[in-house]
């Protein structure tokens, strides 16, 4: 049974026995709304869960959205899991997605998503939620960067981390892997800032639009550079998870490279684009 089929039946008599054994049933605060939809009550908020036929779940969290594209992309970089601000047809929204392929990890995934909600509140000035951070063990991580997941041609150790080299189609797309406290981050530079404010703003706005279409990765601003990124909490790190994260980052960069490159190189296109989308319908965040 797929998660899409299970969600409408969660906590109903027809599926109660099965659901009680299903990992999603163990996620505190999840309630079915039917037809592949559910709500997740977290930290005083109510997020919408939408499941697709591939067992991926998109999480949509109502939260006041930043009006600045730069702020939205910088905030995204500071959140756990793959939370990111995204410009959608319904306005600027806080999104994340969860793979249902590794169902036993779902409770840990949702705990990491909840951490992101608290982080966002801290960024907006709320009191820190506390908790001691346990760093990722480098030696344990190094053991996961070995066969069968990686070989000497696809991983290279660097002074501050590793370069992973996933293959997407016929292309090898290098991705950096670094330890950042209690998680690891896979990143790849997408594009540098434009030569004018209009070009830079257009790049940022298009990045937010792209964030609504990416899966298991996000576009973020780090020190003024637009990066494709995926991060994994230490509880969720495995050989397979690192491979999936590196591939998600490589795919994200590959998909957005052309559109963002056009904006960067052609101000005559970027300027009207920025003017058109700068006044964005920011609600419902």
The domain ranges of the chain are 63-278
Four-point Cα dihedral 253, 257, 259, 265, nearest 10: 140
Nearest to 228 by CA among 188, 258, 264, 260: 188
Q: What is the pLDDT of residue 280?
A: 52
Rounded-to-integer distance, Cα 41 and Cα 52, Å: 20
Write out the chain's pLDDT in tens, 285 residues.
455 555 554 444 444 344 444 456 778 788 877 777 889 999 899 999 988 866 789 999 999 999 999 999 999 999 999 999 999 988 999 999 998 776 678 888 999 999 999 999 998 886 555 555 789 999 999 999 999 999 989 999 999 999 999 999 889 999 999 999 999 999 999 988 777 888 899 999 999 999 999 999 999 999 989 999 999 999 999 999 999 999 999 999 999 999 888 888 888 888 878 777 775 545 555
Rounded-to-integer distance, Cα 4 and Cα 37, Å: 8
Tokens of 32: 């079915």
pTM of the model: 0.86
Rounded-to-integer distance, Cα 153 and Cα 165, Å: 8
In the block, residue with structure tokens 């003017």: 275
Rounded-to-integer distance, Cα 69 and Cα 115, Å: 23
Rounded-to-integer distance, Cα 100 and Cα 215, Å: 13
Q: What is the pLDDT of residue 178?
A: 97
Q: In this structure, are residues 134 and 234 in contact, taking their beta carbons and an 8 Å threshold?
A: yes
Q: What is the pLDDT of residue 177?
A: 98
Please check whether the domain covering 63-278 is classified as CATH 3.30.310.10.
Answer: no
Q: What is the pLDDT of residue 271?
A: 81
Q: In this structure, are residues 229 and 217 in contact, taking their beta carbons and an 8 Å threshold?
A: yes
In the block, residue with structure tokens 């991580």: 141
Q: In this structure, are residues 84 and 77 in contact, taking their beta carbons and an 8 Å threshold?
A: no
Strand partners, 9: none
**Other Cβ atoms within 10 Å of 171 Cβ, number:** 9
Q: What is the pLDDT of residue 283?
A: 53
Q: What is the pLDDT of residue 70?
A: 93
Tokens of 132: 């001691």
């Amino acid at each position: 049974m797929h998660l899409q089929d299970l969600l409408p039946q969660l906590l109903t008599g027809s599926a109660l026995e099965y659901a009680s054994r299903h990992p999603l049933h163990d996620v505190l605060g999840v309630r079915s709304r039917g037809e592949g939809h559910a709500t997740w009550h977290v930290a005083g908020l109510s997020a919408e869960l939408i499941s697709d036929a591939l067992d991926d779940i998109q999480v949509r969290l109502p939260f006041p959205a930043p009006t600045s594209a730069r702020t939205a992309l910088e905030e995204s970089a500071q959140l756990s899991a793959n939370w990111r601000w995204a410009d959608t047809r319904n306005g600027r929204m806080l999104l994340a997605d969860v793979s249902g392929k590794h169902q036993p990890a779902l409770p840990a995934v949702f705990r990491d998503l909840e951490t992101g909600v608290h982080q966002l509140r801290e960024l907006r000035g709320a009191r820190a939620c506390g908790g001691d951070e346990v760093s990722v063990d480098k030696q344990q991580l190094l053991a996961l960067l070995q066969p069968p997941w990686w070989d000497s041609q696809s991983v290279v150790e660097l002074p501050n981390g590793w370069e992973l080299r996933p293959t997407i189609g016929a292309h090898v797309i290098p991705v950096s892997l670094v330890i950042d406290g209690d998680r690891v981050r896979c990143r790849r530079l997408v594009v540098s800032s434009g030569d004018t404010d209009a070009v830079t703003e257009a790049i940022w706005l298009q990045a937010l639009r792209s964030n609504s279409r990416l899966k298991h990765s996000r576009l973020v601003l780090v020190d003024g550079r637009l990066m494709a990124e995926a991060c994994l909490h230490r509880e969720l790190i495995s050989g397979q998870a690192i491979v999936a994260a590196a591939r998600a980052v490589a795919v994200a960069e590959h998909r957005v490279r052309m559109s963002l490159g056009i904006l960067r190189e052609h101000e005559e296109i970027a300027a009207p684009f920025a003017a058109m989308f700068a006044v964005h319908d920011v609600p419902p965040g």
